[in-house]
Structure formats: structure tokens, C-alpha cells
Structure 1
Amino acid sequence: MKALNDLKIFIETAKQHSLSAAARNMDITPAAASAALKRLEAEVGTLLFIRSTRNIRLTQQGEQFLNYCEQAVGLMAEACSTISEGQAEFQGVIKLSMPSDCGRNILLGWIDEFMALHPKLEVRVQLSDGLADMYTQPVDVALRYGEPSDSSLVALPIAGGNTRVLCASPDYLAEHGSPVTPEDLVTHNCLCFALGDSLYNRWRFFHDSQEVTVVVKGNRYANDGEAVRRWALAGKGVAYKSLLDAKEDMLAGRLQEINIGREPESAPLYLVCASRRVINPQVQALKEFLADKAENYLAATSLSELR
């Protein structure tokens, strides 16, 4: 900030009663200090110093201006210090909603790590697979799969490359066989997610940019993603889960990925809020922390790399 630096040179010159001494103390050349004072005098439209070959002293206007400059520089230093401290040690409350399965089993652990770095932060968590009403509920931000249908909401990517994965337990596949095409899924017990009156039983896959949709059915529906995963682990059927939710179970062999020769549906994880004004430094830091954790998690190829 050149203007602020010019004010500092002015204050130091007034203090030292010497342009060369001020330049020496500020580790600049006398010519640079003189240029700064000339810029300042041009800006305020009056002489600030009376100069002679041997000394320099403030004019009456310079003395008045000095008082304001000292206050301004002091306030700026205080502001910079406050912002720096706020970045280093966040305080306040983040009210956060997150999906049940990924929230309980992955995100809560990551948030604990974030809070260990910022112990003065307070986090209030809601676990729900329903999108919280950002305008009426006590929620600042929500972590949700997929872009929100409400275009007025702000959505920032946490895990943009996340996809869904078709999976089942080894016991289920040993007993019922593994589907090899999307159409084979209609003969299997598919574990579906339901939310309100909506049943998510239209499973989408892609091949050569062409969408293939299969309407599946089964004897177990739940409005909780963790319930669906637990049924899959218990061998009750086939699930179409987020890779974030299922990866640890797959690496441990508790679930097996089913290859039907089609690409799975995208399932990006977003941080959603009602306005960009909600994205204060604490929320921005949390977003960046979670995005980094998610990237490393999805890239992991062994259980040890997940932890």
C-alpha cells in the first residue's frame, strides 16, 4: 500500500527532523523518501515541510496533518493485527447440516480435526438427509450431494469428482449372483433411498454419453443413507451409494463393487449456503479443509491411506 507507506515516511521524517535519517531508519534511499513526501504534498494540496539545506521542519498544516496521520496509521496497524489474529485463531459458531451416513462416518471426524486446529470455534451439527431450509432453520451452511434445486442458493464444491457406486456384500453376491447389465438389476433386491414422498428408485448409468435409467425395486426403503448402507453390509440387497460413503467398506472387503459395464452417476458433494455473505473466513477455511480431505480420501487405494 504505497499511500500508507508514504504516511509512514512522513511520520518518521517529522519525528527525526531529517529526511536522510528517516530514509536510513526505513531502509530506503533519501530520493525515495523525498519522492514520497512530494506525492503526499501533492495529494493534500499544501506544503507539509519547510526545507533548508541543513534541516527540515513541519509547517503549521503539516503539524495538523501529522496528528491525523498517526491516528490513521495506528488504526491500520490495529486492523491488520486483528485480521491476522482472526485468521490464525478463528472464533465464533458454525451451524452446519450434513447427510447422515457420510456425516456420521466421515465428515464428523474431519470436522474434529479442523476444530483441533481452531479450538476456539464452536460447531453445531444437524444430521439429516433432507436439505435444511437455509432461510428458516438455524443452519449457516449445509453439506449436500448434488447441486441444489433452488438456484438462489450458493453451492461450493467439496468433492466434485465423487460418484455413486453400485455395490453389495460378498454374501449377497454369492447367494444371488452379480448383475452384469443394468437390466439385470430388476431381478435383484435393490435398497432404495426415500425422502418424503419421493422414492429414489430410478438408478441412472451412462455409456458413450448415453443415459441408461433402470427402475429398480426391493423390500427395504429408508430416508436415512446410513440405514441403506447397513442393509447392504448385512447382505440384504444391492445399493447405489456415494463412493464417499462406501469406499472404506469396499477397501475392507465388506462391500464389493458391481461392474455392469456402465459409468455410474455423478454425486458431487457441495457446501451450500443462502448467500455469499455467509462465507466468512471461518467457513471458507472449513470449506478448503474439507475439500482437501475429500480429495485425499477419494484418491486413497488402501485403508491405511484413508486415515
Structure 2
Amino acid sequence: MKALQDLQLFVRAARAASFSEAARALDLSPAAVSAAIKRLEAELGTPLFLRSTRQLRLTQAGEQFLQACEPGLELIHHGREALAQGQIQGRLHIALPSDLGRNQALDWLLGFRQLHPGVELRIQVADRLAGLLREQLDLALRYGAPPESGLVALPLAPDNRRVLCAAPAYLARRGRPQHPDELRDHDCLCFAIQDQLHRLWRFERDGQTLQVEVGGPLAVDDGDAVRRLALAGAGIAYKSALDVAPDLQAGRLERLCPDWLGEPAPLTLLTPERRSLRPAVRALIEHLQRHIATA
């Protein structure tokens, strides 16, 4: 840290126009301040001060160097304060998919705020990502393959898949399908995204793949709405296992055809490649990873 101390001494001496005053402020000898300035001048290859018996003033190079040093030293000071206080601070802008966002991730983010009250969150809940990429996002959680967006993709739940599920009321009324082919005779809750209706539901078992075209009287463009319709007994849903895990555990929804694997729905965290990960961003990523692992 001697180089940093030399810079601090330079700024003190420049502002006080005196090596002696800078030495007193930092509890050093004038000789130590003079030696520090000489080290800086030797490293930079140019004089920083014009010295005389009556006056100490900056050279033109010294003025330029002072303007460059002061903002950097101020940032270092703030960084040290944050570390000393053990606080993670700043504003984070995060985008969440509708279902996971409203029903689980918001609670996770509230927990994060309790741990780090110095963080301010700006949250967007939406299933469409295209418009969000124009925003100044710090993080985005998204299902499926990451888009070609210039964002760095970090896997959070790479093995997550879709599952078939329905409410007990629907199953009591319409019966329980034993094979994915039987979905053609049921009310299936289709999800629409980017003006495309997701009607082809894919499954696999023992190396065999199956694609079923489903239909029903209800289709929505919001993942949370699909889940709510399923809970109301309106039909069969094909949802991310993460989205419906609490409902399955509580018996509000029942899983169907469990011997067939639904299509992959990996949960990915996206963050801008052009930015370094600030401490607050790193802390939030670790917080989300812990919750995803136990969901």
C-alpha cells in the first residue's frame, strides 16, 4: 500500500502547498513526505512540484496528475468504507418471469433486502424479454436457451423441466390422463408468447420422444395466469417444475404422467457482458442460487 500512501501524501501536499503540513496531517516527518514525492516523480519521470525556500507549487504536470488522482482516491475511500461497514449497496435492476417472479422470486428478493438493506431493487415482471434487453438491466432470470443478446448466461437450474399438472377438482371432473396421448381429449391451458401459441407439448421416456398437439378453450400470454387457471380447475398445465413446486408439495396441483419427462426448461441468469459484476450483483446471484437449489 506504499504507492497508495504516496498518492495520498502528494494530494495533501498539493492542497496545503506544504510538505510540513501534509506530514503533520498524516503524522509523518517532512522527510518522509519529501521521499514519497521523489518516488512518485521518479516513477512518472517528471517533476510534480516547483520547490523554493519560500514557496511550494505544482508544475503543469503536477496539476494534471492531481486532477487525475483525486477522483480515484475518493473512490478508494468509499470502497474502504463499504468494506469496513460490511455493507453491499447500490441499485439493481432485475427482470423476472411472471410466474416464478410473482410467486417465489419476490420473496427471495425481500429476503435479500433484509440481509442487505443498502441495496435498492428495481424489479420488472414479464415473460417477454425482447423489450427488456433495451433497459439497463443488471440481472434477468429466464427460462429456455439464452437469446443472442450480448448477455452473459449463467445456469441456475440447468436440469429443470416442464411437468404436467392439474388441480384435484379438474381431475375429479374430467378424469386423470394415463398417457400424454390422452391430452388430446382434455382442456389444456396453452401459453402464448411473442404471438405464438405453444400447443406442441413434448415428452420423452427411455429414449423415446413424443410430441402431442393439445388444445383447449383457454390460452393466455402470462405464465402466472396459466398457473392460476390450473389452480382454479380450468384445465391441465404444462409448467416449469420450479413454478409449481410449492403447489405440488401442498397438493393444490397433482403431477400427471410422471414416468414421462417434459421438455427441458433450464433457468438461466443473464447479465450484461460489458459490465464487471459489482459486489451487490455477485451477492444477489449467490442468494438466488441458494434458493433455487432448495426450491
Provide the TM-score with structure 2 as the length reference: 0.72
Q: Are the structure 2 counterparts of residues 149 and 211 from structure 1 closer, same or farther at C-alpha, using a change threshold of 3 Å?
A: farther
Counterpart for residue 81 of structure 1: 80
Spell out, residue by residue over 1:128-150, the C-alpha distance to the aligned partner (whole angstroms, 9 max, x if none). Answer: 11114354224332111122231
Gaps of 5+ in 1: 9-59, 298-307
Report deviation, 1:176.
1.4
Q: Which amino acid aligns with 1:245?
A: D
Gaps of 5+ in 2: 6-30, 41-68
Pairing of 1:275-290 with structure 2 (within 5 A) = 275-277=273-275, 279-290=277-288
| Kept in 2: contact 1:188–1:238 (CA 8 A) | yes
Counterpart for residue 255 of structure 2: 257
> Quick one: distance in 2 between partners of 1:226 and 1:188?
21
Counterpart for residue 187 of structure 1: 185
Q: Are the structure 2 counterparts of residues 111 and 247 from structure 1 closer, same or farther at C-alpha, using a change threshold of 3 Å?
A: same
Spell out, residue by residue over 1:21-46, the C-alpha distance to the aligned partner (whole angstroms, 9 max, x if none). Answer: xxxxxxxxxxxxxxxxxxxxxxxxxx
The alignment status of 1:157 with 2:155, answered yes or no, reads yes
Report deviation, 1:169.
0.7
| Kept in 2: contact 1:167–1:238 (CA 8 A) | yes
Pairing of 1:212-291 with structure 2 (within 5 A) = 212-259=210-257, 261-277=259-275, 279-291=277-289
Counterpart for residue 165 of structure 2: 167
Q: Which secondary structure state, in structure 2, belongs to the residue aligned with residue 124 of structure 1?
A: strand
| Kept in 1: contact 2:137–2:272 (CA 8 A) | no
| Kept in 2: contact 1:153–1:273 (CA 8 A) | yes
Spell out, residue by residue over 1:159-207, the C-alpha distance to the aligned partner (whole angstroms, 9 max, x if none). Answer: 2232211100111112211112221111111101101311111111112
Provide the TM-score with structure 1 as the length reference: 0.69
| Kept in 1: contact 2:82–2:88 (CA 8 A) | no
Aligned length: 239
> Quick one: distance in 2 between partners of 1:278 and 1:198?
35
Spell out, residue by residue over 1:214-264, the C-alpha distance to the aligned partner (whole angstroms, 9 max, x if none). Answer: 111111111111111111111111001111211111111110000253112
Counterpart for residue 103 of structure 1: 101
Q: Are the structure 2 counterparts of residues 68 and 141 from structure 1 closer, same or farther at C-alpha, using a change threshold of 3 Å?
A: farther
> Quick one: distance in 1 between partners of 2:247 and 2:195?
30
| Kept in 2: contact 1:192–1:228 (CA 8 A) | yes
> Quick one: distance in 1 between partners of 2:165 and 2:38?
69
Spell out, residue by residue over 1:44-98, the C-alpha distance to the aligned partner (whole angstroms, 9 max, x if none). Answer: xxxxxxxxxxxxxxxx9x985445679x9xx798587356348x31221111111
Report deviation, 1:276.
4.9
